Amino acid sequence: MTFKEKIGRSQELIREYLDKYPNSPTAISWGKDSLVLLDLVYRVNPKAKFFGVLSNTEFSEVLKLRDYVCKKYNLNYEEVVYQNPPDVKMEDCCRTRKVEAFKGFLKNYDCWFSGIRRDEGTTRTDFQEVEVRGGLTKVNPIVCFTITDIYRYLWSNEVPVNPLYLDYKSLSCSNCSTPEMDENESERAGRWKGTNCAGGECGIHSQTLK
């Protein structure tokens, strides 16, 4: 598909599943991919529901961007904050606690939208546009976008983006994200770097959330 066709397909999916499940929330991490998704969903329905699951160890830049974007879009946004203890090990950071926070938020919903992409890393290559697990439908409208598509969309639509991407290829919280070390490393290589979880998943996209 061309870039324009991918955008059309994404909005088609969003429209289809918002019609089926009108109250479906869109997960926003305030990373580059979720901001593309936010803009796409907002263009389909400006009153759509958005939510964030953030830790007490987020970068300050993430929180500033959140405040700016919520005001810019007059966003219908709800947030859940979970606690990473001071002595948490990197491999345990943003894992079980984050998954449980997602489960708690989504327990009353039948469908949600996610901003994952297949080309982010080896753990995501098999993700589909629509996935059903445990009675919960997850829609991945930008799953076929490439990293080039993401930055092209952000630039062409003047969507705000975190300045930390000058140093980081991928962002989680300040505890478990590492700046880019080599241009040839994978996009998610900086997640939980130096542990056996490096470049992997926290569990949101690999576990049953309902």
Nearest to 203 by CA among 117, 106, 109, 96: 96
Residue 93: pLDDT over 70: no
- What is the per-residue DSSP string for 147-199? HHHHHHHHHHTT----GGGGT-SS---TTTB-----TTS-TTTTBTTTSTTTT
Compute CA distances 209 → 101, 138, 143, 203, 204, whole Å.
10, 10, 19, 9, 7
Question: What is the reported pTM?
Answer: 0.90
What is the structure's pLDDT at 119? 84
Span 123-151, pLDDT tens digits:
666 789 999 988 899 999 999 999 999 99
- Domains of the chain in start order, with CATH, are 3-162 (3.40.50.620)
Asked whether the beta carbons of 111 and 27 are under 8 A apart, the reply is no
CB atoms inside a 10 Å sphere around CB 85: 11
Within its chain, how far is the Cα of 207 from the centroid?
A: 16
In terms of Cβ atoms closer than 10 Å to its own Cβ (0-12, 13-18, 19+), residue 60 is exposed
